[in-house]
Amino acid sequence: MQLSANLQDAFNDQINAELASAYLYLSMAAYFEDADLTGFAHWMRMQNTEETAHAMRFFDYVHDRGGRATLQAIAQPPADFRSPLDVMERTLAHEREVTALINRMYQLAMEESDYAAQVMLHELINEQVEEEKTAEEIVEHLRIIEGDGAGLLQMDARLGARTAAE
C-alpha cells in the first residue's frame, strides 16, 4: 500500500521537525561546551544523534512506502540561554511539541486506515513518553539543586555517563 499524499506531506514535515530538533540540541550542546559543562554537552550530542536517526527512520519509511522525502529549510536555533535549567525547560517543552506532532500524524494514519503507518508511529509514541519523562526528571533535579554548584557538577557527571541505549 502506497503512502497517501496527506501522510507523505506529514512525514516530510516530521523529517524537518526531527532535523530541526537535532539542530536545536546541537546548539544546546555548544552552549554547554562553552559553559564547561561537558556532561550536559555530551547528553545534548546524544540527543542530536537520536533525532537525526529519527529523521532517517521517517525518510526511509517514506521511500519504503513508495513516496518521496522532500527536505525543507531548517530554521536557525537559539544560541544563547539563561542557564542549564532554561535549556532543559526548553528541551522538555520541545519534546512535548514533538509528541504532539507525532500524535497528529497517528490520528491522520487512523483517519486514513493506514495500519502500517500506525504501527510505525506507535513505537515512536512510546519513545516520546520516555523522552518527556527523562527531560522532566532533569528539569526537576536542576530545580532542586538550583544555585548549588556541587550539585550541578554531579548532574554534569551523571549526564556525561549517558550511553547510546539511553
The residue ranges of every structural domain in the chain are 5-160
For residues 75 and 13, the answer to whether their CB atoms sit within 8 Å is no
Residue 110, H or E segment: helix 84-111
**Eight-class DSSP state of 77:** P
Q: Given this model, what pLDDT does residue 164 score? A: 72
- Cα separation, 62 vs 117, in Å, equals 10
Listed in sequence order, the residues at least 6 apart from 30 whose beta carbon sits closer than 8 Å to its beta carbon are: 41, 79
Q: Given this model, what pLDDT does residue 149 score? A: 86
For residues 22 and 51, the answer to whether their CB atoms sit within 8 Å is yes
Q: Given this model, what pLDDT does residue 156 score? A: 86
Q: Given this model, what pLDDT does residue 151 score? A: 87
For residues 34 and 81, the answer to whether their CB atoms sit within 8 Å is no
Which triple of cell numbers denotes residue 127? Answer: 519513545
pLDDT digits (tens, 9 = 90+) for 28-74: 999 999 999 999 999 999 999 999 999 999 999 999 999 999 999 99
For residues 49 and 143, the answer to whether their CB atoms sit within 8 Å is no
Q: What is the CATH number of domain 5-160?
A: 1.20.1260.10
